[in-house]
Chains A and B, each alone.
Chain A
Amino acid sequence: MQALAGVEGRAIPFGAKNVDTDVIIPAEWLKTITREGLGKGAFETVRAEPGNVFDDPEHAEAPILIAGDNFGCGSSREHAAWALLDLGITAVIAPSFSDIFSGNAFKNGILTVVLPQEQVDRLLEVAREHPITIDLETQTVTTPFQDRFTFEIDPFRKHCLMNGLDEVGLTMARGDAIAAHEASRVRHLPWLDNATEKAA
């Protein structure tokens, strides 16, 4: 994973509420066995409409997406995060995110920034003509004007994002603790082991 200090540039002022994962990447695109190339299918139904914000040359290659409440609701498909990355989006700003999507985004180095609706509304207005800056170190979103909004982020996620850490590798280093838990589990809850072998 790439280390991420922040994201700076134009932002797509999408703004829609309850953007579900079928809208971000329709199921037909999930048949891939790689992580690449999903940008072509990203927001397919939205982009079928003339004048949509995604194909507006004003926002070409914008690294930030601004959306409404409950962004990424629906399925657990990580393809949604891969599709955003393939579009070049590395940060999403919204009043709230679905739990699974925000986890998937984080694991792919995409920053999810939660701000109150009125601040999101202000950024949607600014984004139409101006760039936005997200700084992870100071946890702030700023505009070329006087706007300076601070956001919360889980300290562990911040640490991983800023250092580009691989979570699987971090956990594998805790192998002893996991083995100790397994030893205790087999004493207290022995029926949980060898699940698939029971039917053999």
Chain B
Amino acid sequence: MASKPRTLYEKIWDAHVVETRDDGTSLIYIDRHLVHEVTSPQAFEALRLAGRPVRRPDLTLAVPDHNLPTTARRDAAGGRIPIADAQSAAQLAALEANAPAFGIRYIGDADAEQGIVHVVGPEQGFSLPGATIVCGDSHTASHGGLGALAFGIGTSEVEHVLATQTLLLKRSKSMEVRVEGELGPGVTPKDLILHVIGVIGAAGGTGYVIEYRGKVFEQMSIEGRLTVCNMSIEAGARAGLVAPDDVTFAYLKGRPMAPKGAEWDAAVQWWRSLATDDGAEFDKSVVIDAADIAPSVTWGTSPEDVLPITGAVPAPESFADPSKQDAARKSLAYMGLEPGTPLTEVAIENVFIGSCTNSRIEDLRAAAAVLKGRRKAANVRWAIVVPGSGLVKRQAEEEGLDKVFLDAGFEWREPGCSACLGMNPDKVPAGERCASTSNRNFVGRQGPGARTHLVSPAMAAAAAVTGRLADVRELVD
């Protein structure tokens, strides 16, 4: 009997249903749980109070990232340099104690493998296609780049997964974002996802899981797919997916926690069966012409406030929706921007290359390609590169990228979440602008009063060199 054609999302969902209740809520089995220091202490405490163990420590991996300073962590004698912020130190210490107390593998600040959880998971082969992956962090959507159903959860859900290895969920609606044609020169996966968010809006994906489809994604590296899926949440979608294919398998093969031998072969066979069937239906379909995507930059305080770099700061009156006009007025006041100003005339004082969106090796290569033989402009006060993991850092150093960044006037840091969010010492000063490869331009996100412009790594490098938001296509052949 021919079964009904299913989407990738439906196939992963169906494979993980423990049971479905009459009201349509399902108990879904979770294959992989990443834990970091910010959203887990209250969950571990609740387990402790209830005397509950972690059901599957073998499927749980703990990595600190949000609070860790990105400056040196060990002194010359190898001793730990204390963290100045007592609250950050206490939160990090809680994870370091909770992980072994509950039998969970912990990759700590001194380990070469440490990094941002969403960089570490794929890099270690912990994240796998067809798996359900959760973490107390909304950018868990990243792992969808491997063809996993991956989404962020709150602390109560972290506790629920630790105790039961399941979550109670209602099936989301499915949305296809199909990109037709090919990306133009200088247009990267980051520009693509910023453009998509601009098209569907910051709430456009609410209630949906997005599957990204089209030749663009088939030709895209895993790093690029992780970047695209990472920002699905900025479009309101809890998860994004790209079907696993040979690119995925080549990326994962041989990684430490990936299956090996006969298990690998069986896994690949199953992963190949997951692609959306011909004739499967999506609840919503958005078609985008790749030719419409330019190097992009945000001008406001919502990720949907995005324009091609060739554009100008919009006038609030240009929006049809009165509440959007009001939001735009507030955004422009916060951002200190005048309507009509060409985006390429906006001067910047800070550049941040890093975050779970853009801190993998390919991102660093793209930025270094623009910076090679150049130096940051005099008005750029602070420019830092924060590799996504210790392994990314090591690889970049082997390729000599660290020298390119240092010669260009950048600081070369230790891995962590850094200036993506104001939780560690890396912050953008109030009233100053930052060309940032991170994922959120919210009010105060990079520090109180900080003004964020989201861009790709290549565009961040172009901004560093010119001292303003700049079209990277004018800097490279």
Contacts and interface: CB of A to CB of B under 8 A. Distances in A.
Asked if A and B bind, the verdict is yes
A44 B421 CA distance: 16
Interface string A70-107: 10011111100100000000000000111110011001
A78 B32 CA distance: 20
Chain A binding surface SS class: helix
B21 A74 contact: no
Contacts of B39: 76-78
B31 A192 contact: yes
Contact of B128 (A16, A190, A192): A192
A114 to B, nearest CB: 11
Contacts of B105: 196
Interface stretch (A5-13, A23-31, A52-60): A23-31
Contacts of B25: 154, 156
B156 A191 contact: no
Contacts of B421: 22, 27, 75
Contacts of B170: 154
B234 to A, nearest CB: 8
Contacts of B52: 168, 172
Interface string B302-313: 101000000000
B267 interface: yes
B422 A26 contact: yes
Nearest to A105: B154
Nearest to B127: A195
Contacts, number: 216
Interface string B236-265: 101000000000000000001111100110
Contact of A18 (B90, B166, B260, B302): B302
Interface stretch (A32-40, A132-140, A143-151): A32-40
Interface string A101-132: 00110011000000000000000000000000
Contacts of B238: 99-100
Contacts of A28: 422-423
Contact of A22 (B29, B155, B202, B442): B442
A108 B58 contact: no
Contact of A27 (B138, B264, B423): B423
A172 B203 CA distance: 34
Interface residues of B, number: 90
B170 to A, nearest CB: 7
A77 B38 contact: yes
A28 B66 CA distance: 11
B15 A78 contact: no
A45 B21 CA distance: 42
Choose among A78, A192, A196 the residue with the greatest number of B CB atoms under 10 Å from its CB: A196
Nearest to B103: A196
Contacts of A189: 15, 130, 267, 270
Contacts of B304: 18
B442 A171 contact: no
A17 B94 CA distance: 36
Interface in A170-200: 171-172, 174-175, 177-178, 180-182, 185, 189-199
A22 B87 contact: no
A156 B26 CA distance: 11
Contact of B323 (A68, A108, A167): A68
B369 interface: no
B153 interface: yes
B203 A31 contact: no
Contact of B206 (A23, A68, A96, A193): A96
21 contacts: A20-B440, A23-B443, A70-B203, A76-B140, A77-B38, A77-B39, A77-B154, A78-B39, A78-B155, A96-B203, A96-B206, A98-B236, A104-B156, A168-B156, A171-B27, A177-B19, A178-B27, A192-B131, A193-B59, A195-B31, A196-B59
Given A178-B18, A189-B130, A198-B256, 12 more contacts: A26-B422, A27-B421, A45-B444, A76-B138, A76-B140, A77-B39, A98-B203, A104-B155, A168-B164, A182-B165, A194-B58, A195-B257
Interface of B: 15, 18-19, 21, 23, 25, 27, 29, 31-32, 38-39, 41-42, 45-46, 50, 52, 55, 57-61, 66-67, 85, 87-88, 90-91, 94, 104-105, 124-126, 128, 130-131, 136-138, 140, 152-157, 159-160, 163-166, 168, 170, 172, 202-203, 206-207, 233, 236, 238, 256-260, 263-264, 266-267, 270, 302, 304, 323-324, 327, 421-423, 440, 442-445, 448
Interface of A: 16-18, 20, 22-23, 26-28, 30-35, 44-45, 68-70, 73-78, 81, 96-100, 103-104, 107-108, 154-156, 167-168, 171-172, 174-175, 177-178, 180-182, 185, 189-199
